[in-house]
Amino acid sequence: MSGDKGGKVNAGQFQSLKSLFGPGATARYLALLLRHKALLFATIGGMAVLFLFGNYIKNAVVLLLLALIAVLSTIYKRYMRVPPAVELVTFSTVLAGVAYGPLVGALFGAVVTVAAEVLNSGIDAFIIGYIPARAVVGFTAAFFPGVNIVTLGLLMSLLYNAVAQPLYAFQSDAELRFKLFAFVLINVPFNFVVFSIAGEFAKGIIT
């Protein structure tokens, strides 16, 4: 009995294979595709877009993810009125510059800085120092893709503070000067740790 059952199963499998690959199979496949024209055209169109613009799409997705990481990293400022010394804006800006060049790096740094300040309701007069400082970081980082990412991250963090913080340093208000020193003392070591932990890994993924 078991042999008969096995023979019947094999015969059924043979008939299935015959229907898939035997005479008339091509016509059946065409008929199936025509019944699902929308899916067919969507698939062809999607493949064409990926073929033609796949690299641009990938770059856009990477930049979007970097921007989200940067902006959300300072969301705590929305609830605590403290200098955003703990941030991933520098990290993301350096990676954008290294991966996509000076113009993209500069634009990314400036736009993300504004977006973070808007989201966190933290726009003040000193943003006129933050924006060009981030742009300078993104622009400059692009010219040193071969430098160790930890070293580059540390240097770019120092560069950012050198460009952005003089506006605080020149104020007569002692509290503002204290915020300047507190920001630098926290921000530079924090960025060094971030680049040490995740810099090489992130750079390897996007470049």
In terms of domains, do 138 and 199 share one?
yes
Residue 110 shares a structural domain with residue 9: no
Question: What integer pLDDT is reported at residue 78 of this predicted model?
Answer: 79
Is 41 inside a domain boundary? no
Sequence-ordered list of residues with C-beta below 8 angstroms from that of 189, at least 6 positions apart, any chain:
none
Count how many domains the chain has: 2
49 within domain boundaries = no
Q: Would residue 93 count as lying in a domain?
A: yes
The CATH number assigned to the domain holding 79 equals 1.10.1760
Whether 117 and 202 share a structural domain: yes
Is residue 58 located within the same domain as residue 19? no
pLDDT at 1: 46
pLDDT of residue 186: 94
User: Is residue 42 in some structural domain?
Assistant: no
- Say how far apart CA 35 and CA 198 lie, in whole Å: 49
Q: Give the model's pLDDT for residue 44.
A: 75
**Domain-located, residue 63:** yes
Residues 8 and 66 in one domain: no
Is the same domain home to 85 and 184? yes
Is residue 47 included in any domain, yes or no?
Answer: no
Q: Residue 112 domain-assigned?
A: yes
Both 152 and 190 in one domain: the answer is: yes
Answer yes or no: is 182 within a domain. yes
**Residue 74 sits in the same domain as residue 22:** no
Residue 129: what pLDDT?
A: 85
Same domain, 28 and 58: no
- Residues 68, 119 within the same domain: yes
Examine the domain organization and report whether 101 and 150 are in the same domain: yes
Tell which residue, 87, 63, 72, 74, has the closest CA to residue 191.
Answer: 87
Q: pLDDT at position 19, please?
A: 54
CA distance 154 to 75: 23
**Residues 183, 126 contacting (CB under 8 angstroms):** no
Provide the domain limits for residue 120: 54-206
Give the pLDDT means over successive 10-residue stretches in the chain (207 positions). Answer: 48 51 60 66 73 81 93 85 87 97 95 88 76 96 96 97 83 75 93 97 92
Question: Token pair 């698939």 is at which residue?
Answer: 43
The 10 Å CB-count burial string (b at 16+, else e) for 179-200 is bbeebbebbbebbbebbeeebe
Residues 142 and 106 in one domain: yes
